[in-house]
Structure 1
Amino acid sequence: MNRNIILSCITLAAFSLGSCEDFLDKEPLSLVVPTEYYKDEAQIQAAVNKLYTEVLPSHTNWSFGIFGLDSGTDNQVGFNPDVKYAKGQWKVALENDNWNWENIHNINYSLKQSLTNYNNKEVTGSEKNIRQYIGELYFLRAYAYFTMLQKWGDLPIVKEDLPLDEEYLIEMNKRSPRNEVARFILEDLGHAVEYMSDNFDTRKNRISPDVAKLLKSRVALFEASWLENFKGTAFVPNGEGWPGKSKDYNTSYEYPLGTIDKEIEFFLNEAVASAETVAEKYKNSLTQNTGKVPQSEDDPDNPYFSMFGNTDMSTFPDVLLWREYSKGLGVVNNVEVGIQHGNNGVGLTRSMVESFVMKDGKPHYAPHTGFVYDDETLAKIRENADPRLHIFLKEPDQKNLFKNMTSQETHGVEVEPYPDITNMNAEKGYSTGYTIRKGGTFDKDLCGNGNGYTGAVVFRATEALLNYMEAQYLLTRDLNSGKIMEYWKLIREAAGFEGTAVNPTTMIDATEMDKEVLDWGAYTAGTLLQDKVLYNIRRERRCELMAEGLRWMDLLRWRAMDQMITTPYHVEGFHLWNTPMQNWYEAEDLVDDGSSSATVSNVNLGEYLRPFEKNMTSGNLYRDGFVWSMAHYLEPLPIKQFQLTSSDRVTVEQSILYQNPYWPLKADSPAEK
């Protein structure tokens, strides 16, 4: 038995098969950290600090950071599409690094040692500090589990540091129904709130009770939405074809409250309660968008703009948790360099841009007083747009830099150029023609390649208002119930809307669902929503949280991709053909012959740039658009895990595990449905 492998991978029980090769050179905490280590508050803090970077999202280097996490959705795309949007290309793997329990194991070990020593009064230091760090461990386990829940659904619930016992380890692989996993996450977040203190860290670099409550609302809304939208299918416990029924330990499963509908109601009530607690605390201190983009040192600051691009986010009241970077310490990122060019190749889609309403609060296709919607130039799009789109959508000739202009950093671009859509270079190319400056600072000193230090917002309070609105509406189907209208108006006021545009009914009444078909969030289970209130709650969420890394989570829980099973989706960028923007490029650079050397899509496919339909040869799997398979809502468990947890360590059918819906038990095989 290889002790290192087993404990690094927890439930993999890799006795003689040698799984998790990536971790062979990495001892688990239980082997390298003596139990005495957790007897001082500074030691517990050190263990927790390392887990922050392992578990929570941040601006990773050589990328667009958090602002690029929505790439591969209908909001943003890069140069290379994801295999999940091509038929038969996503396949069951022999091994999968996403089925990785290392973080959860390390948290469990740290939590066990810290709690044991704390309860035995063997930890020296401040009682308040010790409890804070224990609460943070509970939070981090909850966050790590929620990340796994979104990928896998049903999961083993592992609360302890596991012993070196083969049969026990195999037993611990039993997958609990997904709603039980979500309940466990909520329980951990409850413990986190109990242990942590308000205002523990005024710089807001550490997790707080408010952050735990916000995550609780997120998790509860996610699970309620999933159970509701996948009700009756193989993706929920006891639904038709649910694979959990194939194992005796889940055969007789019953929901804690008796029915799936009561379970949905439970999670919605949890989401409402947790979200309201946070929303009430911060609703009157949401950072205000002035609607202006600073273009010189003399221009007034726009707090809403600056909130996302700053080296110190502690002064923004609605930023609940942020990660600080330091050039001196070598903790750096590449976000500002990405904003100087094409967002590291991650461009907004036409769908995202058109999801924003206009400054009068009405969708772009509605009649407007004093103007008409015009997308023939980027300047025209911004002119009468939602104030959030107005400040974040880049256009040529805007100043990108005007601060610290004597800095020696070399990767800044003082004036925004025409988007280079023919350049496939990830640093300077523009994948769709639409790019954002969300996270921008105008500071040349932050433009060192791989050497920037812009902070990263991890949680902000506005999400609590959005979570409340959706959960409360799903409970009541009444726009005027609870505090939906109050919170919605507050969000729109902070976003910079004025007059009747603040009232969401202006947007709702002018919405025509058959004109919202580019938005995946306009669908559930392959059907276009007819509930315009629900759709516009989704729309508001999409626009407010643009490029903050939450879009894929929302699309999953809304079951928003079924329509692509029968109707391919064509990703589009900006309005290239037959507009003034076509004249930004030399004719010889716009190669649209459909060959493998084409630089743009052909006008016969439409006037909007189709970034994945430039090459129309048989070698391009996406030349006819994106398609979907039902199985792709969850990842396939890797085959090695079935072998390791089977009675003979070989036969996958004898494993204590079960595969996710419509994925086969054979490596290198695509989804069955």
Structure 2
Amino acid sequence: MKTNRLYISILALALAAGFTSCDDFLDREPMSTVDPEVYFTQVSQLESYANQLYENILPSHGNWSYGIFGEDSGTDNQTGATANNRFAEGLWKVPNKDDDNWKFEWIYRCNFFLQNVLEKYGTKEDGSENTIMGDLASIKHYIGEIYFLRAYEYFKRYQKYGDFPIITEPLADDMEILRESNKRMPRTEVARFILDDLKKAYDFLSAKEMATTRINKDAALLLRSRVALFEGTWLKSFEGTAFVPNGEGWPGASKDYNKDYQFKSGSIDKEINYFLEQAIADAETISEAYKNDLAENKGLQQSVNDPANPYYDMFAQEDLSGVREVLLWRQYGRGLVTHNVNVAANRGNYMNGVTRAFVNNFLMANGEPVYKHGSYADGDGYYRGDKTIADVRINRDGRLQLFLKEPGQVSILYENIEGNEASMTEPIPNISETNAERGYNTGYALRKGGSFDQKHYANGGGYTAAVCFRATEALLNYMEAYYVRYGNRGGHVDEYWQILRDRAGITGTIDQTISATDMAQEALNDWGAYFAGNVIQDKTLYNIRRERRCELMAEGLRYMDLCRWRAMDQMMTTPYFVEGIHIWGTPMEHWYDDPENGGSKLIADGSDNATMSSRDKSEYVRPYQKNTKQVGYDGFHWHMAHYLTPLPINQFLVTASDGQTIGDSPLYQNPYWPTTADMPAEK
């Protein structure tokens, strides 16, 4: 019985009976009873199998949410209706049972495919031993897709846990085999495994021209650069700590199978360089291929007579096959697979509010930081201050001007009765609304993802495309990896950086921006200005991080970056308060006047019914300081343990030989997390 629990709940070593596809054979017979000798015999079956994994592994828009654009919520960029438990004292606790984090189901399904299909494909690189019916190039392509999908799924797990079991084949229902398979490999080995899978994917995959709705060679190289940059910078940021192999207190050393671990490169410094150099090489290949074909930014379209903006439309149109910058995208269809991104972008982003800190962080159009032109509240004329949303957009980085919504802007250019959930123009942000679907959490909201065509605004029926990977990330990956590796702006760093600044409409030189940077000021607005609790002093590195933050806004990569930079230690000693628009003592306060009752629609008395933080807390909206019952009322706090996710306790028990002795399990807990269920981090 114990073996069955391990077999199913830990490694998911049986395919779910409900895993079906449009293929007739699968519709007749559950995958758990499929005979691979019968099934994996035609190229169409390989394609059907891969199709089922796409929606469960790759980035996509959720059905009733702001989709990918809301995944930066819980960072210094965006914040949700409630504060994330990872920033609260004692609310993130060790789970007792499995959750969606410690999950092997999709890894198993990839392994099931590869074991059976590679056997039929044979060992010859030219496919001369292949016995699968169909076009050989397509057969190879679908094999490449599964390698990519396994790598992507592993990357998700490894970001959460660091050290992780490496499993490459379906496992027999045998207790000893299953226990052995649970050994956590050092994070550097997992990262190398992911890179190796992506190299295999690249070798098997077709070029991008096959279709950007399917995984291709360029997407594999881009993901490779992301993974390598992640591990190289993580090792550098956490060197010597319990979060890297052989660091002080590394829990992996407690197990015999890891205690004598040696880095493949010979030392951690060489290992850091190995990953950074991999990131540079792969990012350069993609950057060189696409640097002259990035979507043009022509400003915010506000009339049918204005030119369309390819950069804006890249995030808000149905078909991205003609957008060269996009390397991989997910397609949606009316009445088939839909989402609510457009409706969210037409409201308050489902309460994924943009923070004041993020708005402040964008440069002026001349390349200078905001604080060079007066205070944040009051500017010298070039910077107008933040007393209205309109003011903060004037003379700013074109990306902020484009995507930050302003009351009165036209939201719908093309009317269509199919879309009944759209406001024609952007209203005054409803910051006192408690309904998460319609409220504005900080007062600042994005229009990113919002189509100008009303037909996309049927509630729950949006069908604009989702960008999974775009080539611009490669330029950013290269810039950071090269600078961290070599400590200078050699290679293509300035070239790629200037391309991004030009598209954002930023004038002035890179050197002028760096010279004007005041790190004490930047630290007020950007967690990325920190390392290990201290403000970084390298202004060039900081501005590379700033560029990444601004270019990749609301694309779901911010928390990943903050973790690998070790950029949240400062909240262990100094609470952080999330803020939004400048509400008190500004014209925006009067947006909420209630003349009929002789007062304000905003209730700021600290009661349970309060809809706004009081002016004695701050002149700015503080979404988590309306009343003392809110998580985050006393600010955001951090624990070192929170850089990684705790393993669930039942995994220790089912992998112990006696089913009850945690120390007998081949697993070990992540740093500073206890091995007792429902307990918070120890440090």
Same fold (TM over 0.5): yes
* Number of the residue aligned with 2:33: 32
- Secondary structure of 1:147's match? helix
Residue number among 431, 445, 450 corresponding to 1:421 in the alignment? 431
Decide whether the 8 Å contact of 1:179 with 1:223 is kept in 2: yes
CA distance in 1, matches of 2:311, 2:4: 48
Q: Indicate which of 257, 260, 273 corresponds to 2:265.
A: 257
Alignment partners' CA distance in 2, 1:573 and 1:260: 41
- Equivalent residue, structure 1, for 2:644: 634
Residue equivalent to 2:412: 401
1:153-168 to structure 2, matched below 5 A, reads 153-168=162-177
Q: 1:636 to 1:23 in 2, by over 3 A?
A: farther
Deviates more, 1:366-375 or 1:446-455: 366-375
**Larger deviation: 569-578 or 589-598?**
589-598
Q: Percent identity?
A: 52
CA contact (8 A) 2:5 2:654 kept: no
Q: Please give the per-residue CA displacement for 1:4-54, whole angstroms capped at 9, x wherever unaligned.
A: 7555445379xxxxxx9x979889987332212111000000000110101
Q: Cα 1:2–1:651, aligned 2, differ >3 Å: closer, same or farther?
A: closer
The CA deviation at 1:594 is 1.4
1:551-575 alpha-carbon deviations (Å, 9 max, x no partner):
0110110011100000000000111
The aligned counterpart of 1:588 is 600
Pick from 434, 444, 447 the counterpart of residue 444 of structure 2.
434
Shift of residue 655 of structure 1? Answer: 0.8
**Counterparts of 2:420 and 2:180 in 1: how far apart (Å)?**
56
- The answer to whether the Cα contact below 8 Å between 1:221 and 1:471 also exists between their aligned partners in 2 is yes
Q: Out of 278, 281, 285, which is 2:286 matched to?
A: 278
1:655 and 2:665 are equivalent in the alignment: yes
The answer on whether the counterparts of 1:339 and 1:436 sit within 8 Å (CA) in structure 2 is: yes
Partners of 2:652 and 2:144 in 1: how far apart? 34
Counterpart of 1:534 in 2: which secondary structure? helix
Q: Residue deviations 1:516-557, cap 9 Å, x none? A: 122111111111010000000000000000000000110110
Q: Which residue of 1 is the match for residue 620 of structure 2?
A: 608
Q: Measure how far apart 1:593 and its partner are.
A: 1.2
Can you list the C-alpha shifts for 1:558-605, whole angstroms capped at 9, x where unaligned?
A: 011100000000000111111111110024311111122111111111
Secondary structure of the corresponding residue to residue 605 of structure 1: coil
Structure 1, residues 371-397: CA drift from partner, whole Å, max 9, x if none? 134111111111111001001000011
Equivalent in the alignment of 1:49: 51
**Aligned pairs for 1:501-580 within 5 A:** 503-517=509-523, 518-580=525-587
The one of 281, 285, 302 aligned to 1:295: 302
Instruction: Tell me the SS of whatever aligns to 1:213.
Output: helix
Query: Structure 1-normalised TM-score?
Result: 0.95
SS state of the match for residue 458, structure 1? Answer: strand
| Aligned residue number for residue 422 of structure 2 | 412
The structure 2 residue matched to 1:351, chosen from 357, 370, 373, is 357
**CA distance in structure 2 between the partners assigned to 1:6 and 1:644 by the alignment:** 6
Partner of 1:66: 68
The alignment partner of 1:221 has SS state of helix
Q: Indicate the residue corresponding to 2:596 in structure 1.
A: none
In the other structure, the counterpart of 2:242 is 234
Kindly provide the amino acid, as one letter, of the partner of residue 589 in structure 2: Q
After TM superposition, the structure 1 stretch with the greater mean CA deviation from structure 2, 269-278 or 306-315, is 306-315
Residue 150 of structure 1: aligned partner: 159
Residue 217 in 1 paired to residue 225 in 2? yes
Offset at residue 636 of structure 1 (A): 0.5
The reply on whether 1:371 has 2:378 as its aligned counterpart is no
Name which of 117, 132, 135 aligns with 2:141.
Answer: 132
Q: 2:401 aligns with which of 377, 387, 390?
A: 390
Aligned 8 A contact 1:397 1:415 in 2: yes
Distance 1:133 1:408 in 2: 37
2:119 alignment counterpart: 116
Asked if 1 retains the 8 angstrom alpha-carbon contact of 2:343 and 2:450, the reply is no
Return the alpha-carbon distance in structure 2 between the equivalents of residues 363 and 314 of structure 1: 37
The residue that corresponds to 2:192 in the other structure is 183
Tell me the SS of whatever aligns to 1:284.
coil
Q: Aligned with 2:607: secondary structure?
A: coil
How far, CA to CA, are the matches of 1:513 and 1:377 in structure 2?
A: 26
Query: Does the 8 A contact of 2:11 with 2:105 survive in 1?
Result: no
| Conserved 8 A contact 2:280-2:478 | yes
Judge conservation of contact 2:3–2:174 (CA < 8 Å) in 1. Answer: no
- The 2-side partners of 1:198 and 1:540 are apart by 29
For the Cα contact (< 8 Å) 2:383–2:394, is it kept in 1?
no
Q: Is the 8 A contact 1:394 1:436 kept in 2?
A: yes
User: Secondary structure of 1:48's match?
Assistant: helix
Name the SS for the 1:285 alignment partner.
coil
How many residues of Structure 1 are paired with residues of Structure 2 in the alignment? 656
**5+ long unaligned stretches in structure 1:** 14-19
Counterpart code for 2:119: T
